[in-house]
A = this chain, B = another copy of it.
């Protein structure tokens, strides 16, 4: 089994690579080669890994990757929502042209790989019902959402034509995001948990009533592994799937934080309204039915407490520093 991961130095990419190297297999087939690509050189210490650095949208870049003849491609490379909104050209170049270059290279090479495409719930735009059904019409209200939807259309079309066997995952917000804050407008959903748990201050730029759907990084890796190995027959022409997630308000996040980190943790959150972030967040959906995703075998957490527990296990070695201090 030969696997190519784009955006492999990113948050989901790193966790996916770690998991693949631990499992040494995917879907019952032994791992032979793992080709990693990112603008930032991906790090991985294994003889199975080829780590490549570059811009996926640059001429020839996608062809060079596809020359490794992957059986599975996990396409995670992308510019996040805030950046795609701030930089029109960059968003389209990376998110649309990069995706198209990759799929074109696959087609030209005559490979027929499984392709897992990291789409987003940002393909949807309001007005929304409280719970979004699986067949809700996607009308993006950000450039990022539009670029992801265009990627989905390509994945559908090439799959229908038998050029690839694709699955697009409409990721919910992945939370608690480890590491430094990134430029995603959704960053605070993780920041208000991650920072206080280790005794650092965090800013909350939106009201506590904001409801949003989340899944852990561990669940995100699970989505990718499932999409890479599932029977795609039941998808028909509709390759984009809404996986399950936990719909939770910011206030409920804070209560879950209080249960593990106490008042000391909660006091580290400073409410400082940011109209720019608020404007973007208001265009997002609250909750999803995700019945089809569940039926197709995608699995996520059931509560925000569980998401918090996963974070403490995977990132903090089971400890809660702020509660110990």
Interface set of A (CB-CB < 8 Å, partner B): 88, 107, 125, 135-141, 143, 146, 149-150, 153-154, 156-157, 160-161, 237-238
Contact = CB atoms under 8 A, between A and B. Distances in A.
Nearest to A134: B137
A68 B154 CA distance: 33
Given A161-B88, A237-B125, A153 B137 contact: no
A185 to B, nearest CB: 16
A137 B137 contact: yes
Contact of A139 (B107, B141, B150, B238): B238
Contacts of A150: 150, 153
A283 to B, nearest CB: 9
Pairs of residues from A and B, 5 with the lowest C-beta to C-beta distance, nearest first = A137-B137, A146-B153, A146-B157, A150-B150, A135-B137
B141 A160 contact: yes
Contacts of A146: 153-154, 156-157
Contacts of A143: 157, 161
Contacts of A107: 88
* Max chain B Cβ within 10 angstroms of own Cβ: one of A154, A157, A160: A157
Given A88-B161, A161-B88, A149 B139 contact: no
B157 A140 contact: yes
A305 B41 CA distance: 66
A62 to B, nearest CB: 15
A276 B154 CA distance: 23
Contacts of A125: 237
A52 B154 CA distance: 32
Given A161-B88, A237-B125, A156 B137 contact: no
17 contacts: A125-B237, A137-B138, A139-B156, A139-B237, A140-B153, A140-B156, A140-B157, A141-B160, A141-B237, A143-B157, A143-B161, A146-B153, A146-B154, A146-B156, A146-B157, A149-B153, A150-B153
Contacts of A135: 137
* Max chain B Cβ within 10 angstroms of own Cβ: one of A88, A137, A153: A153
A194 to B, nearest CB: 32
Contacts of A238: 139
Contacts of A138: 137
Nearest to A160: B141
A107 B143 CA distance: 15
Given A135-B137, A137-B138, A143-B161, 13 more contacts: A88-B161, A125-B237, A137-B137, A139-B237, A140-B156, A140-B157, A143-B157, A146-B153, A146-B154, A146-B156, A149-B153, A150-B150, A150-B153
